[in-house]
């Protein structure tokens, strides 16, 4: 049971670190131009949508890991 829990926690922290790195290095410098005074707004909306999609993907990955851990524990 402990190894499954540690796997889940390691995956969770790994996804947090990877997600933070992606947001800072890739999404941070994204600039949009050509929309006049709405450049900052459109860039912010795009960044927010991408960040929300990443969060949903991370939740799905952690859910899959959790389900595998519980299925493995139930079979024992």
Residue 76: band (very low, low, confident or very high) from pLDDT cuts 50, 70, 90: low
pTM beyond 0.75, yes or no: no
Domain count along the chain: 1
Cα dist from 23 to 31, 49, 62, whole Å: 14, 12, 19
pLDDT digits (tens, 9 = 90+) for 9-27: 888 888 888 888 888 888 8
**Residue 33 domain boundaries:** 2-75
pLDDT digits (tens, 9 = 90+) for 43-59: 899 988 988 998 898 88
70 phi and psi angles, rounded to 5 deg: -70, -40
The reported pLDDT for the residue numbered 29 is 85
How many alpha carbons lie under 13 Å from residue 3 in its C-beta half-sphere?
3
Q: Does pLDDT of 1 surpass 60?
A: no
The reported pLDDT for the residue numbered 45 is 92
Query: CA-to-CA distance for 76 and 23, rounded, in angstroms?
Result: 40
Q: Quick one: DSSP state of residue 36?
A: G
46 phi and psi angles, rounded to 5 deg: -65, -45
């Amino acid at each position: 049971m402990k190894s499954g829990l540690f796997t889940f926690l390691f995956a969770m922290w790994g996804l947090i670190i990877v997600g933070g790195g992606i947001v800072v290095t890739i999404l941070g410098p994204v600039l949009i131009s050509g929309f006049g005074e709405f450049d900052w707004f459109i860039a912010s909306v795009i960044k927010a949508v991408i960040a929300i999609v990443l969060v949903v993907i991370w939740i799905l990955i952690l859910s899959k890991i959790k389900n595998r851990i519980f299925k493995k524990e139930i079979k024992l």
